[in-house]
Structure 1
Amino acid sequence: MLVRIVMLSEESYSRGVFSTTALNAVSQALGFAGNLALACWFGTRSDVDIYYYCVGMAFLASTFFGNLNTSVLVPEAMRLERQCSRDDAQAFLNVFLFGYLAVGIVAMVPGMAAPVSVGRLLSRFQASLIERHADIFSWACVFFGLSNVAQYLSDILASRRYFALSVLLGIAPKLGLLAFLYGYRGSWGIRAAFLGTCVGLLVQICCAVFFLKARLGWRFQWNLSSVGARVWKNIIFSQTGHLVGAAAGAVPLFLLSSFSEGTLSALGYGQRLAVLPALFVVQPVAGVLGIKLNELRPKEAWPEIDRIFRGVWHGLMMMLVPISVFLVVYAPEVVGLLYMRGNFDAASARLTARFFRIFAATIPFLASTALTTRLFIAWQKVRLSMMYQIANRTVFVLFLLLGIRWFGALGYPLSDLLTWAVYQFALLPAIWRHFSCVNYQAAVARAGRIAAFSVAGGTAALACSRFCGNGNAWADLFTGSSICLLVWLAQMALFEDDRRLVAGWLRSMVRNSAPGAGG
Structure 2
Amino acid sequence: MAKKSDQTGTIARSAAVVSFAVLCSRILGLVREQAFAILFGAGYAFDAFVVAFRIPNMLRDLFGEGALSAAFVAVFAAYNEKGEKETWRLASNVLVFFGLFLSVLTLVGIFASEHIVRLLVQDEYIQVPGKVELTARLTAIMFPFLTLVSLAAVVMGVLNTKGRFFVPAMAGSFFNLGALIGGVSLSLLMPRFDQPAIVGMAIGVLIGGVLQLGCQLPTLRRTGFRFVPHLDLRDPGLRRILVLMMPAVIGLAPLQFNIVINTYFASSLAEGTLSWLNYAFRLFWLPVGLFGVALSVATMPVVSRFAAQKDMPNLKNTYVSSLTMAFCLSVPASVGLIILAQPIVRVIFQHGRFDVAATVGTAEVLACYAVGLFAYAAVKIMVPIFYALDRPRYPVIGSFLTMLVNLLIILAVLEHLEHRALALSISGAMTVNFIFLSVMLYRLMGGYPLAGLARGLGKIVLASLLMAGWLYGLQRLFFPGGISEERLLLDIAAVAVCIGSSALLYGLALQLLKLEEMNLLVRRLLRRG
Q: TM-score, normalised by structure 2?
A: 0.84
Kept in 2, the 8 Å contact 1:173–1:201? The answer is yes
1:419 paired residue number? 429
Q: Deviations over 1:355-376 (max 9, x none)?
A: 1111122222111010001112
1:126 paired residue number? 126
Q: Gapped runs of 5+ residues in structure 1?
A: 1-11, 511-519
Does structure 1 residue 215 correspond to structure 2 residue 223?
yes
Does structure 1 residue 26 correspond to structure 2 residue 24?
yes
Choose from 236, 242, 248 the match for 1:226: 236
User: How far does residue 264 in structure 1 lie from its aligned partner after superposition?
Assistant: 0.6
Kept in 2, the 8 Å contact 1:403–1:412? The answer is no
Are the structure 2 counterparts of residues 383 and 136 from structure 1 closer, same or farther at C-alpha, using a change threshold of 3 Å?
Answer: same
Alignment of 1:144-155 (within 5 A): 144-155=146-157
Choose from 334, 342, 357 the match for 1:347: 357
User: How far does residue 41 in structure 1 lie from its aligned partner after superposition?
Assistant: 1.2
Q: Deviations over 1:270-317 (max 9, x none)?
A: 111111122234324422432443444323444554454444333333
2: CA distance between counterparts of 1:303 and 1:129? 57
Counterpart AA for 1:490: A
Counterpart AA for 1:373: V
1: CA distance between counterparts of 2:443 and 2:431? 21
Kept in 1, the 8 Å contact 2:80–2:87? The answer is yes
2:528 paired residue number? 509
2: CA distance between counterparts of 1:507 and 1:299? 33
Counterpart AA for 1:362: G
Alignment of 1:65-214 (within 5 A): 65=63, 66-69=65-68, 71-82=70-81, 84-85=82-83, 87-124=85-122, 125-126=125-126, 128-188=130-190, 189-214=197-222
2:289 paired residue number? 279
Q: Deviations over 1:378-423 (max 9, x none)?
A: 2232223222222222222222222323322221111111111222
Q: Deviations over 1:252-274 (max 9, x none)?
A: 11221232221111111111111
2:501 paired residue number? 482
1:492 paired residue number? 511
2:380 paired residue number? 370
Kept in 2, the 8 Å contact 1:327–1:357? The answer is yes
2: CA distance between counterparts of 1:288 and 1:479? 30
1: CA distance between counterparts of 2:221 and 2:263? 40
Are the structure 2 counterparts of residues 117 and 392 from structure 1 closer, same or farther at C-alpha, using a change threshold of 3 Å?
Answer: closer
2: CA distance between counterparts of 1:16 and 1:270? 28
Choose from 378, 388, 395 the match for 1:385: 395
Q: Deviations over 1:20-65 (max 9, x none)?
A: 3212211211111001111011101312001112223333322222
1: CA distance between counterparts of 2:351 and 2:478? 27
User: How far does residue 80 in structure 1 lie from its aligned partner after superposition?
Assistant: 4.3
Does structure 1 residue 329 correspond to structure 2 residue 339?
yes
1:516 paired residue number? none
Choose from 278, 294, 298 the match for 2:308: 298
User: How far does residue 431 in structure 1 lie from its aligned partner after superposition?
Assistant: 0.8
Counterpart AA for 2:74: P
Q: Deviations over 1:140-185 (max 9, x none)?
A: 3122232222233223322332111102233222111121233222
2: CA distance between counterparts of 1:444 and 1:154? 38
Q: Deviations over 1:177-206 (max 9, x none)?
A: 121233222233122222122123223323
Counterpart AA for 2:382: T
Are the structure 2 counterparts of residues 88 and 269 from structure 1 closer, same or farther at C-alpha, using a change threshold of 3 Å?
Answer: same
Kept in 2, the 8 Å contact 1:118–1:137? The answer is no
User: How far does residue 105 in structure 1 lie from its aligned partner after superposition?
Assistant: 1.1
Are the structure 2 counterparts of residues 255 and 94 from structure 1 closer, same or farther at C-alpha, using a change threshold of 3 Å?
Answer: farther
Does structure 1 residue 407 correspond to structure 2 residue 406?
no
SS of aligned partner of 2:144: helix
* Number of positions where the alignment pairs a residue of Structure 1 with one of Structure 2: 498
1: CA distance between counterparts of 2:88 and 2:317? 32
Alignment of 1:441-452 (within 5 A): 442-443=452-453, 445-452=455-462
Kept in 1, the 8 Å contact 2:109–2:143? The answer is yes
Are the structure 2 counterparts of residues 73 and 182 from structure 1 closer, same or farther at C-alpha, using a change threshold of 3 Å?
Answer: closer
1: CA distance between counterparts of 2:453 and 2:101? 41
Alignment of 1:1-12 (within 5 A): none
Are the structure 2 counterparts of residues 436 and 92 from structure 1 closer, same or farther at C-alpha, using a change threshold of 3 Å?
Answer: farther
SS of aligned partner of 1:162: coil
SS of aligned partner of 1:328: helix
SS of aligned partner of 2:216: helix
2: CA distance between counterparts of 1:99 and 1:380? 28
Kept in 2, the 8 Å contact 1:238–1:383? The answer is no
Kept in 2, the 8 Å contact 1:375–1:435? The answer is no
Q: Deviations over 1:59-92 (max 9, x none)?
A: 332222233145433234324445x555555555
Counterpart AA for 2:303: L
1: CA distance between counterparts of 2:249 and 2:38? 38
Are the structure 2 counterparts of residues 287 and 313 from structure 1 closer, same or farther at C-alpha, using a change threshold of 3 Å?
Answer: same
Q: TM-score, normalised by structure 1?
A: 0.86
2: CA distance between counterparts of 1:465 and 1:17? 31
Sequence identity (%)? 18
User: How far does residue 447 in structure 1 lie from its aligned partner after superposition?
Assistant: 3.3
User: How far does residue 486 in structure 1 lie from its aligned partner after superposition?
Assistant: 1.6
2:3 paired residue number? none
Kept in 1, the 8 Å contact 2:186–2:204? The answer is no
